[in-house]
Structure 1
Amino acid sequence: MKLINLILCGGLALSFCACSDTPSGESTKRPAGQDPDPKPTPEPGGDDNVVSPTPSFTLNNRTVAVNTAKTYQEMEGFGASDCWLPNKIGTYWGGNRLQIARWLFSKNVSSDGQPQGIGLSMWRVNLGAGTEEAGDAGGVDNINNRAESYLQTSGSYDWKRCNGQQYFMQQAKNNGVEKFVLFSNSPLVQYTLNGQGRSDNGGSANLKDDCYTPFAEYMAEVAKHFTLEGYNISHISPVNEPQYNWDGRDQEGSGWQNTEVARLTRELDKALQSRSLSTKILIGEAASWEYTYKGNNNRENTINAFFDPASEAYVGDLGHIEKAIAGHSYWTFDNWNHMRDIRAKVKTSADARGIKVWQTEWSMLDKEPSELGGSYDDVSEFDIAQYMSRIIHNDITVAGCSSWSYWTAMSVERYGQKNRFELIKTTPAGGNYSDDFTAEGNAVATPNLWVLGNYSLFVRPGYRRVDLTLDESKDFFGTAYIAPDNTRLVLVITNYDKERGISLAMDAPKDAKSVYTYTTTATKQMKQAQFNLKDKVFVDPASVTTIVYNF
């Protein structure tokens, strides 16, 4: 492919390659989230005769400019988890389970330009503690939050268990999901101190002292099995929200001390090494961002606990450790300034240790944010979804997250919760308050799905965030990303103005071949539009919009 020249930006240069355009309405040559064959990313300051694209927009006396020569983090994936209903739905449902999988994983675009799904690049798979097999004795009263394990009481493995979870894993693989992350909420019930998947051990691990090695061996063995089945088990996350005691009966969980987490991590590192697996260990899963950088007890300040060589819990030198801290965005999003202040502190602490940041779990668990626009009773489902875009934006731009995942991919709405806890709303055949998912039910894609899709479908693993200059506020903000082969530039813009759309008066990149937008509003679901390169690109009122330049 021939090299093409792009407009000058501050005297800096990058090499770009031409690629075929996406014909309007054609889904087979280039799906929305699928890139051409990857090519090596040119070294900075490459061919001085080839320069980087810098679309410059003028809107309402504001200037927006992209500088691809100024880069930030490489993006590693957008995902969601399979807790807990996917095991039931994947086992018992028929056509609707396939539709759910299509919404989550498909990268295809229909003939009318409508994306069929959001093309998640990461799927988080729950390694259950065996509370499903244990029944009432397992300590989890909510029957739909019980989870199976693969280890039988005899000590042998039954790989036919977790059938519904495996259905969605297979669908994810079929649709090209790049990474699978195995995560654990609790040790297996046969390894716990109380024989249950919830804890009576306070802030310490609900794990027998002689079971650290067997539990690590179990997680590594599951990773080995699915690796041999053709899944890229990129990571194992061995603990979840260790700052909580998990003494309730609604779901699996255990508290952990940092030193206990480190002990388990060292055992898991050895178990992975003995199986010659390349799987990395993702550590942290802090219940709130603040636990990653502050506090002095043995359950807090996880960045320094795990990555300061002087710490008793230091694991940064292990061969399988991912040099990253994982945290959850709960409890830290009441308003724009507060969420940015906290996330800036996360980045400062992570940068000091030379590690990356992953946001691995969020839903709108908290009391309604003060800037949401009203109580949960008063706001719309799109209001909730659009507020999520503020969180994604600040996690990426302020905390520096290179990966972002939603919590439960599917759940059921009860008690007027609207779409606070799921991407896809599922209803059992017996209605919202039925716990029986063994018969075919209904499924509806919520605005959360499509807003997340404005990022996940287009910002693929390996894309790098580049500089986007604009008059940023809580009501107007955006990010920009360049493909690793430099053939695609992606902008994600959020406009909160409910009355006024924005026309972006701009000079398109000189050698751009096409420009598309994908718009999500209260009535649009990533609706595609193609613009003439000489025309103004329009951003709808109250929208999240992805702008895609193809070169």
Structure 2
Amino acid sequence: MHSKTLSLLVVLAFAYNPAVADQIFTVSSSDTRGVWQGWGVSLAWWAKRFGTRTDLAQILFSTSSTTYNGQSVPGLGLNIVRYNAGACSTNTYGGTSMAVSPNIKASRQIDGFWLNWGSTDPSSSSWNWNVDQNQRTAMQNAKNNGANRFQLFSNAPMWWMLKNKNPSGSSDGSENIQSWNLQDHATYLATVAKHAQTNWGINFESVEPFNEPSASWWKADGTQEGCRFNVATQSTVIGYLRTALNNQGLSSVQIAASDENSYDVAKSTWNGLTSSAKSQVNQLHVHGYQQGSGDRVGVYNNAAGKTLWNSEYGESDATGSSLASNLLLDFRWLRPVAWVYWQAIDGGGWGLIDGNNDSGSLGAVSQKYYILAHFTRHIREGMTILDGGGDSVVAAYDSARRKLIIVAVNWSTSGQYLNFDLSRFGGVSDGATVPRWSSQLTSGGTRYASFPSDTKISGTKFWSYFGPKEIQTFEVSGVSR
């Protein structure tokens, strides 16, 4: 036999023999990780500048392809919107006006609706419901493109509720809200939720009264709105918020807490809340800024009986490698049922789309966007999350469509074959085609390339070659749990 022919046969034998796969993952049909509620994004701060852009709403919230910068961009299909009730206003009342941090950017000052302490009546002159138009428009555009879960959250109480009247924080990072305004803060959020229901056609499913409340970096010279709440104060506010929501006829609206910056702090805060406050919290929310560190399992254990979200995640790695790594770790160990990205549009690698929220300039769609698309476009609301068999794999099952989704990453700097064992599922069809999508976790790499027919099931297994630092998504149809 010719040596070149022999070499070709050896290569083909390696490519189509699952026994020589570099890694084998057995996907569980029974180790369930919750029913997925969806993917989301916060509107502050990018929506203050770009909220009227219907093309951006289509890109983020629909699954349709949209032309942007001359290219066709596949929609992410996000369905969760986090709307920020602002803390700022420019009015003066009783000789008092807002103190402004010298370092805050205009895009990070979100106008609030309750202008002063003169009246709690939302129809009085103490309230202005015409502000924050762009963020509200973005929320409506999101709804028009398929978003169906809305959350109201607060970065800081209205400026006049604060000791130094500065919505960026106190001089030393200590608790800044005046004790006699704790109930006012709860009243403010409940009133906004009611107004949204009555006037905007938006039903907030949950309200989050804090944002990273244990952090020490909320200071008067900060770059955004922020406020420290001691854990004991958080318990008090949670109780006030439950009463305020009930008084507005919003007893079905849930309370989320406490949106701490890291997994470890979230665990500590939860352990410090009173039993009454814990009973009134329906959703335990945590931010993912601890990235690859922290006690994810501890947060999951604390969330027993509660709905657990990673309600904010972001970093400056535009390749999407960090995003994929930390998201897979969340699926494996934190086990949230929703996951929310922070800034859809921002510079320095933070945005899914590069842009400047102050100048209004827009740039390219990042590699990170396409990496996120591997998850958001395929793992959809209502699917059951399953154990994929390792830290680099997640699986989800759609019972209505009898479809199994697998997202996997090869973290190696060398190419390798990954083999997926589906023997625990029924209906696996020998020879069936498995469509797949591929992206590279590097700048300028392949972006969400579709391969509809090059992967086949052999027995109860299939396998695929992964290049260095590559993510692939697979859809297996006709299987049952």
* TM-score category, normalised to shorter length: 0.7 to 0.9
Work out which of the residue numbers 363, 376, 391 in structure 2 matches 1:443.
Answer: 363
Which secondary structure state, in structure 2, belongs to the residue aligned with residue 119 of structure 1? coil
Q: Secondary structure at the match of 2:191?
A: helix
Q: Confirm or deny that 1:85 pairs with 2:46.
A: yes
Instruction: Pick the aligned partner of 1:398 from 320, 323, 333.
Output: 333
Deviates more, 1:393-402 or 1:506-515: 506-515
2:31 aligns to what SS in structure 1? strand
**Contact 1:515/1:530 (CA < 8 Å) preserved in 2?**
yes
Gaps of 5+ in 1: 1-55, 92-96, 294-300, 334-338, 366-379, 429-434
CA–CA separation in structure 2 for the residues paired with 1:498 and 1:302: 39
Q: Corresponding residue for 2:59?
A: 103
| Whole-angstrom distance in 1 between the partners of 2:420 and 2:109 | 54
* Correspondence for 2:245: 272
How far apart are 1:486 and its partner, in Å?
Answer: 5.0
What's the counterpart of residue 438 of structure 2? Answer: 519
Q: Distance in 2 between matches of 1:317 and 1:505?
A: 42
Q: What amino acid does structure 1 have at the position aligned with 2:300?
A: K
1:544 corresponds to 2:471: yes
Aligned residues: 431
Shift, 1:402, TM fit: 1.9
- 1:14 is matched with none
TM-superposed CA distance for 1:266, in Å, is 1.1
Q: Give unpaired runs (5+ residues) of structure 2.
A: 1-16, 117-123
Other-structure match for 2:406: 491
Contact 2:24 2:418 in 1 (8 A): no
| Residue of structure 2 equivalent to 1:357 | 308
Partners of 1:179 and 1:139 in 2: CA distance: 33
In structure 2, give the amino acid aligned to 1:509: V
Give the alignment of 1:49-448 within 5 angstroms.
60=21, 62-90=23-51, 97-109=53-65, 116-131=74-89, 137-139=99-101, 141-153=104-116, 155-200=125-170, 202=172, 204-228=174-198, 229-245=200-216, 246-247=218-219, 248-277=221-250, 278-293=252-267, 301-306=268-273, 309=275, 314-318=276-280, 321-322=281-282, 324-333=283-292, 339=293, 342-351=295-304, 354-364=305-315, 381-382=318-319, 385-411=320-346, 413=347, 417=348, 419=349, 421-427=350-356, 435-437=358-360, 441-448=361-368
Distance 1:355 1:427, change over 3 A: closer
Distance 1:168 1:391, change over 3 A: same
AA at the equivalent of 1:104: L
Contact 1:76 1:461 in 2 (8 A): yes
Instruction: Decide whether aligned partners of structure 1 residues 59 and 361 sit closer, same or farther in structure 2, where only a CA change above 3 A counts.
Output: farther
Query: How far 1:482 moved relative to its partner?
Result: 0.9
Aligned partner of residue 295 in structure 2, secondary structure: helix
- How far apart in 2 are the matches of 1:531 and 1:549? 12
CA contact (8 A) 2:23 2:418 kept: no
Residue type at the aligned position of 1:520: S
Please give the alpha-carbon distance, in whole angstroms, between the structure 1 residues aligned to 2:315 and 2:306. 27
More displaced stretch, 281-290 vs 522-531: 522-531
User: Residue 24 of structure 2 contacts residue 420 of structure 2 at CA under 8 Å; is this kept in 1?
Assistant: no
1:137-182 deviation per Cα after TM superposition (whole angstroms, max 9, x unaligned):
3336322211111234464443331111112111210111121111
Q: 1:29-87: CA deviations, max 9, x gaps?
A: xxxxxxxxxxxxxxxxxxxxxxxxxxx96662533222323322222222121221321
Q: TM-score, normalised by structure 1?
A: 0.71
Secondary structure of the residue aligned to 1:207 is coil
Q: Matched residues in 2 for 1:196 and 1:109: separation?
A: 43
The residue number in structure 1 matching 2:387 is 467
SS in 2 for 1:489: strand
Alignment partner of 2:279: what SS? Answer: coil
In the superposition, relative to structure 1, how do residues 548 and 225 fare at CA in structure 2: closer, same or farther (>3 Å)?
farther
Q: Write out per-residue CA displacement over residues 88-117 of structure 1, whole angstroms, 9 at most, x where no aligned residue.
A: 2225xxxxx333222211112589xx7621
In structure 2, the partner of 1:11 is none
Cα pair 1:131 1:196 within 8 Å, conserved: no
Amino acid at match of 1:402: V
Residue number among 531, 534, 551 corresponding to 2:453 in the alignment = 531
Question: 2:207 and 2:337 mapped to 1: Cα distance?
Answer: 17
| Stretch of structure 1 that moved more, 240-249 or 251-260 | 240-249
CA distance in 2, matches of 1:201, 1:75: 41
CA contact (8 A) 2:89 2:115 kept: no
Contact residue 388 and residue 395 of structure 2 kept, 8 A: yes
Following the alignment from structure 2 to structure 1, what is the Cα–Cα distance between the partners of residues 113 and 377? 32
Match for residue 119 of structure 2? Answer: none
Q: Alpha-carbon deviation of 1:491?
A: 0.9
User: Per-residue CA shift, 1:235-276, capped at 9, x if unaligned?
Assistant: 111011111241133111111111111111111111111222
Query: What is the alpha-carbon distance in structure 2 between the residues aligned to residue 280 and residue 406 of structure 1?
Result: 21
